[in-house]
Amino acid sequence: MTVAHCPALLVTAPASDSGKTTVVAAMARYWRNRGKRVRVFKTGPDFIDPKFHEVASGEPAYQLDLGMMGEAQCRRHLYRAAREADLILIEGVMGMFDGTTSSADLAVAFGVPALAVIPAAKMAQTFGAIACGLAHYRPDVTLFGVVANQVGSAGHATLLRHSVPDGIAFCGWLPRDESLALPDRHLGLVQAEELPDLDAWLDAAAQKLGESCDMPLPEPVAFQAGPEDEALQCLGQPLAGQRIAVAQDAAFAFVYHDNLSLLTQLGAELVTFSPLAGEGLPTCDSLYLPGGYPELHTGALGANNVLSQQIRDHIEADKPVVAECGGMLYLLQQLTDIEGQIHAMVGALPGSAIMQSRLQGIGILVAELEQNQIKGHCFHYSSSDIQLTPVTEAVQRGRVRVGEPVYTHRRVVASYVHWYFASAPALVARWFDANKES
């Protein structure tokens, strides 16, 4: 079995909103500034946090999710990263042991030690008790160290450091400082590309973290090469010679690197364009509209009448379109924002959507479609009324709480689901194949 060695840490916490993203980004920038090549991964189906890690590290950041991707795909990603990187950082999701496939499960599956970010405001020796609990809750998990967040002073940090049990490294601290807080909105953090001073922020956070300790790292982890995807290899390149237009800007930013890589592996040529910038639809055989924040950019999207007409013509010509979440909202007749203002959208699908103040759907989902199982996830704050009969429903396994209809219209496939294409490459190839009859 081929093996690659690289130091690695899974950065976790007792709960969400503990500062994992800030610490991971600060660590990535710290080591990058010292000439190290850092690769960062994000546990779970998160599109926003990885963008910060990409800016911090200067390298692409991929998702790692056992439930959605499977162990073999996760293993392939880690092995490839270990071959080229000096350090691998994996940002966990929620609390360390939360979920059916938790951050702890991921750490155990690949032998990666954990680093816990513990919010320390209004806390003293209890900091060490929490570290001890995280270290010993499961005997198969290795807690390498801890980082203290929201620390009041250097004296407070010393108190926290002394509370940490032997065998757990104290890996630094960050102060309680509003300048270190990243702005957020309904779907998570404000996107990295919207923050003009992000590089300065990253350098400042890296400097503060680095000044607080010697930044210890664990011994290298041995990452084994995962088996190649036989189903994908058997497919060959059914999309060879075909061109896929991919919407990419602040309104359509939620796309997995793996999805784009798969389309390229299937032989397609990808060309990106920006609806927000007023660009028209490039010459293409099929169209990919990922999710994002169309509700924040209704003015610019509505003003691009040329593109709206081109998309309607594309659909009427029976050319393929895959629209996910925000991409689906864009294709509807109208979208009502959170203030109650109604905005005209492309008008290619019959129906409308309304932004809500509360979360309307979240979960890892599986859909049965054309004798295939395809996985994905949903996370949305809008409700919709679409005048089409769903062809199937994507459901959360083991629960009945989440179900998302999947619609087709001519060659359009539309849903709130952000699909993980690699879970069903043959189906995805048919979705985008302009030579396939509808």
pLDDT of the residue at 185: 45
Which structure tokens are listed for 235?
């497919």
Looking at the annotation, which residues are catalytic? 325
Which single residue is written with the structure tokens 């055989």?
285
The 10 Å Cβ neighbour count of residue 180 is: 18
pLDDT of the residue at 189: 59
pLDDT of the residue at 309: 98
pLDDT of the residue at 276: 96
Per-residue model confidence as pLDDT tens digits over 363-390? 899 999 999 999 999 999 999 999 999 9
Query: Binning pLDDT at 50, 70 and 90, where does residue 155 land?
Result: very high
Query: Binning pLDDT at 50, 70 and 90, where does residue 231 land?
Result: confident
Per-residue model confidence as pLDDT tens digits over 185-221? 455 556 767 777 889 999 999 999 999 999 999 999 9
d(CA 216, CA 172): 9
- DSSP state, residue 256: -
Task: Answer whether 146's CB lies under 8 Å from 157's CB.
Answer: no
Q: Are strands 87-91 and 8-12 parallel, antiparallel or unpaired?
A: parallel
Per-residue model confidence as pLDDT tens digits over 280-326? 999 999 999 999 999 999 999 999 999 999 999 999 999 999 999 99
Q: 95 in helix, strand or coil?
A: coil
Query: Binning pLDDT at 50, 70 and 90, where does residue 395 land?
Result: very high
Per-residue model confidence as pLDDT tens digits over 31-79? 999 999 999 999 988 888 899 999 999 999 999 999 899 999 999 999 9
What average pLDDT is seen over the chain? 93
Q: Residue 147's closest CA among 164, 122, 167?
A: 164
- DSSP state, residue 103: H
What is the CB-side half-sphere exposure of residue 304 using CA atoms within 13 A? Answer: 22
pLDDT of the residue at 400: 53
Q: What angle do CA 87, 89, 91 make, to 5 degrees?
A: 175
Query: Binning pLDDT at 50, 70 and 90, where does residue 226 land?
Result: confident
Domains of the chain: 3-224 (3.40.50.300), 230-432 (3.40.50.880)
Task: Answer whether 383's CB lies under 8 Å from 424's CB.
Answer: no
CA distances from 146 to 162, 212, 418 (A): 12, 13, 33
Task: Answer whether 300's CB lies under 8 Å from 321's CB.
Answer: no
- The phi and psi torsions of 70 (rounded to 5 degrees) equal 85, 155
**Which residues are bridge partners to 377 per DSSP?**
364, 418
Which single residue is written with the structure tokens 């379109």?
321
Amino acid at 367: A
Per-residue model confidence as pLDDT tens digits over 98-117? 988 899 999 999 999 999 99
- Helices 49-57, 20-33: inter-axial angle, 10-degree rounding: 20
Per-residue model confidence as pLDDT tens digits over 166-192? 999 999 999 998 777 666 645 555 676
d(CA 270, CA 47): 20
Q: Residue 14's closest CA among 109, 146, 123, 112?
A: 146
